[in-house]
Amino acid sequence: MQALLRLAGWIDTLNERVGQMAKWLVLICVLISAGNAVIRKAFDTSSNAFLEIQWYLFSAMFLLGAAYTLKHNEHIRIDILLSRLSPRKQAVVDILGTLLFLLPMAIAVLYFSWPVMTQMMTSGETSSDAGGLVRWPVWALIPIGFTLLILQAVAEIIKRLAFLQGLIPNPAEKHTGQIAEVIAQNLDPQRKQEDKA
């Protein structure tokens, strides 16, 4: 289990970094949108590339941020029944939901998006609009985003199994530190001794 927890910590770190980068896409998208609006009003000119890059960035925000959102347990849930269960039963429900619903869906999307993305890359397809952009980068976001989501789903299963075994705190709860740090502390026996002293 310790090797799996290290893997979960690595995945958490990866998706934390990608999620932090994806946050900046919001600002970039807003600046491009505002700049495009000012240019259109002030100079009576515009470019389809400005409109398409906003679409690309909007896609990137959601596709690259999905795993980050899962890591922080921020996806929308309907907790009518789940909130009444104990934390251990909630962890079991999360594991089953991830295995039966999230992973099969994400793997299916990855499987079906890969050939489309490779076809777009080899054909070099561009937008049919004048001044439009190359299409493959936005299509590449789909397999990248869903690969990150699959990795995070595996990490969440590992963390919940470790929680059920009493190795780490409940990963569904908000912690002041990163769960990767909590995992590292619980795996390092020397660090445990120092914390107790």
Does residue 180 surpass a pLDDT of 60?
no
Beta bridge partners, 126, equal: 134
This prediction has a pTM of 0.81
| Lowest mean per-residue pLDDT among 12-21, 51-60, 107-116 | 51-60
Q: Which pLDDT band, with edges at 50, 70 and 90, does 73 fall under?
A: confident
Does residue 179 surpass a pLDDT of 60?
no
Contacts of residue 167, Cβ cutoff 8 Å, sequence gap at least 6: 1, 5, 186
